[in-house]
Amino acid sequence: MDIPASALTRVADSLAPISRQIWDAKYRLKTPDGTPLDATVEDSWRRVAHALAAAEQEPQLWEERFHGALTDFRFLPAGRILSGAGSDRRVTLFNCFVMGSIEDDLASIFTHLREAALTMQQGGGIGYDFSTLRPRGAPVRGVGADASGPLSFMDVWDAMCRTIMSAGARRGAMMATLRCDHPDIEAFIAAKREPGRLRNFNLSVLVTDAFMAAVDRDADWPLVFGGTTYRTVRARELWDAIARATYDYAEPGVIFIDRINARNNLAYCETIQATNPCGEQPLPPYGACLLGSINLARLVRSPFTPDARIDGDELADLVGTAVRMLDNTIDVSGFPLEEQRQEALVKRRIGLGITGLANALMMVGLRYGSPEAAAQAGHWAEAISHAAYRASCRLAAEKGPFPLFDRDAYLAGETIQALPADIRERIAEAGIRNALLTSIAPTGTISLLADNVSSGIEPVFAHSYVRRVREKDGSTREEEVSDFAVRRYRHAFGAKAALPAHFVTAQDLAPSEHVRMQAAVQRHVDSAISKTVNVPKDISFEDFKEVYRDAYRSGCKGCTTYRPNEVTGSVLEVKPAEPSPAPAVSDSTADLLVRADKLSGATYKLRWPDTDHAFYVTVNDIEHEGIRRPLEVFINSKALEHYAWVVALTRMISAVFRRGGEVSFVAEELKQVFDPRGGQWANGRYVPSLVAAIGDILERHMVDIGFLTPTGPGRAAAAAPVAGAAPGTFCPKCSQPGLIKEEGCLSCLHCGWSKCG
């Protein structure tokens, strides 16, 4: 489809400031010294179209068609394609990897750690199943030792991830799964009770149909490894533990693994035990998949009228072009590992999804979460699925089917059996180019790029919000960021027009409405869906548990929830119409806690490898408003090579402590510091640096004095709400309280920073 030049100008010129900033920061091609090579968004579209058309026999013809699909943000390839295609950088264009199965021996474990580092270095997010590692305390034959268990090695992976910067500013993310019958499953469920632990992992429990049946019967559930039953628990109690952990601190999620394998088109040649970091791509060992989304919000014709609709022919044509673009990406992309390249080439998996669903529903007059909206979303998803399968059949007739295609086995698959007869006949005749085709991925950043359309299949989070922008001179200004559909509506009916009742946001929805939407779309998605069911903080635990049972009964392949909590914080609070003035910040020392002449405290001795002299960490306390709290820290050592940073650390920590308020984060932040030269094992945990060891001491001290409450071995949480705590969750990049959680990812509404994991 050719797009008039005037339309290109309008799109580029009308981009919201945040969209232009996202493009410049994440997707605009630049030289190593920062000089832009893409002068406009149009240049970025042209670069990507040219790179993907290189796999064609008629590249110029297909470049124009690919360019037409990208124009106006109608098709949004995932961020790695937008930033990397045509860049000549050594990066992968694939978003999703599941690494190889980890054999239960030390050499294999560290071979896989190396492979993970190489994959993340090139920008790939990875998933791992740690169920293959023997449980903690199991004997290790031949060395006279006991196994440390899968969680100890997850700590090592987590430390590695913190040091690997993927392409540009994109840091890798990881998913860890563990089977519901592994003997260490309870420790896995509780792993994130410790603030800051496994921060680079998403965690999900592999839940089997047998386990769900045992939960229904309130039966016993054996925990087994290597054919040995280590102990037996009550299935319902284990299920409640999963739900309670998620209720308290948002993880782990659950993956209905038997359903995933039963509905997998490739069940005849692979078994899946893990997913990529956000859960939308269940993949086999060394499995790889790339992503892209159809922007439904840009396809609605005659919006906000009785004739509002998405044209079926236009949608099918766009889907066909998108499938071809993603299929070509397989051939032009690099891969961190040869095993990943081979896996991608023999199966040619792609993950075509949607974004802008909530906006499209607004534009056709439907309330997100209603039965009517779910039916419409399912209809659109079905149309995309059928168009994608037909396009892949045409590609197979032209270029050949994927190499592992087995006609009889493929056609016998549960998902394939549900397709229309004409598609199954085409598959039988000429095969299919791509083994799996559809997936609903997180689209937080690319949705912001596309003029702030609603993300993936999530509801709109807020109709508008105020974004704080830091200028080059250090000053800040505020600008309003509004939702795409809201802007379109007010452009049509006036800036002060009241929004229709069906313009709902995430705050207006019941959990069951989230699940209804996910289930309606999942029926027509051959992989899986990344979606977060946001629930209110005051939801009862019994109602919360029902969300997961509802997801299982509704046919979902997994479920992720988010409830604001004390460990991970709350999501962005929407700014009220008439906000109260912020309290003034004093530059004087009048607000500092007053130091008495004599203080109580404790001194801790710390030894560290490769350091000749011990460190002595002294923490002195003060009684304030009935709570004993740390006031100052002194760190002493004869190791003069550390003198400067030790003094600096001492002064900075003490300065923070004297300000009062919530200070437990100091220990948490120190514990995340990683030393590339290596850390050490202490008390059964890997401590990644000397600074992290100091953080451990501070946390232990705060527990000992009652300022923090222990919640498990090596874990602590705030003892009580402390005056001065900041509202919401602060972005680590721009330091504004603007994080929301959608589709398994944290995204900042101020600067566009995102992190999946």
**Residues annotated as catalytic (active site), given as ranges:** 276, 278, 280
Amino acid identity, position 51? A
Measured between alpha carbons, how far is 456 from 742 in angstroms, rounded to an integer? 9
Tell me the three state secondary structure of residue 577. coil
How many residues does this entry show for the chain?
Answer: 757
Residue among 149, 160, 220, 233 nearest 191 (CA): 149
Which of helix, strand or coil describes residue 85? coil
How far apart are alpha carbons 204 and 202 in whole angstroms?
7
**DSSP states of 419-447:** S-HHHHHHHHHH--S-S--B-B---HHHH
C-alpha Rg value of the chain to the nearest Å = 27
Classify residue 592 by its DSSP letter: S
Dihedral angle over CA of 641, 646, 648, 652, nearest 10: 170
In contact, 172 and 125? CB cutoff 8 Å: yes
> What gap in Å lies between CA 13 and CA 248, rounded to an integer?
45
Query: Is the separation of the CB atoms in 310 and 296 below 8 Å?
Result: yes
Residue linked to tokens 């509802």: 550
Question: Kind of pairing, strands 139-140 and 145-146?
Answer: antiparallel
Which alpha helices (DSSP H) does 496-557 contain, by range?
Answer: 511-522, 541-553
CA distance linking residue 151 with residue 342, whole number of Å: 30
Measuring CA to CA, which residue among 35, 128, 54 is closest to residue 93?
A: 54
Q: Give the three-state DSSP class for 240.
A: helix
- Using DSSP's 3-state secondary structure scheme, residue 253 falls into strand
CA distances from 652 to 471, 657, 660 (A): 27, 9, 13
Give CA–CA dist 518/557, Å, rounded.
10
Nearest to 358 by CA among 448, 485, 487, 543: 485
Strand ranges for 565-720 from DSSP E: 600-606, 615-624, 627-637, 680-682, 685-687, 708-712, 715-718
Half-sphere exposure of 635 (CA within 13 A, CB side): 27
At residue 294, the 3 state secondary structure works out as: strand
How many degrees, rounded to 5, is the angle at CA 667 between CA 661 and CA 673? 135
The half-sphere exposure of 376 on its side-chain side, counting CA atoms within 13 A, is 23
CA-to-CA separations, 546 to 210, 239, 243, 502, 612, in angstroms, rounded: 19, 11, 9, 26, 57
The rounded distance, in Å, linking the Cα atoms of 43 and 144 is 62
Q: What angle do CA 416, 328, 91 make, to 5 degrees?
A: 115
Distance of alpha carbon 473 from the chain centroid: 33
* 23-to-221, 377, 464, 594 alpha-carbon distances in Å: 51, 29, 20, 48
Give residue 218's identity as a one-letter amino acid code: D
How many Cβ atoms sit within 10 Å of the Cβ of residue 32?
A: 6
Residue tagged 């500092």 (tokens): 592
Distances in Å between the Cα of 106 and the Cα atoms of 19, 158, 183, 485, 591 are: 47, 17, 19, 54, 53
Backbone angles phi, psi at 558, to 5 degrees: -170, 175
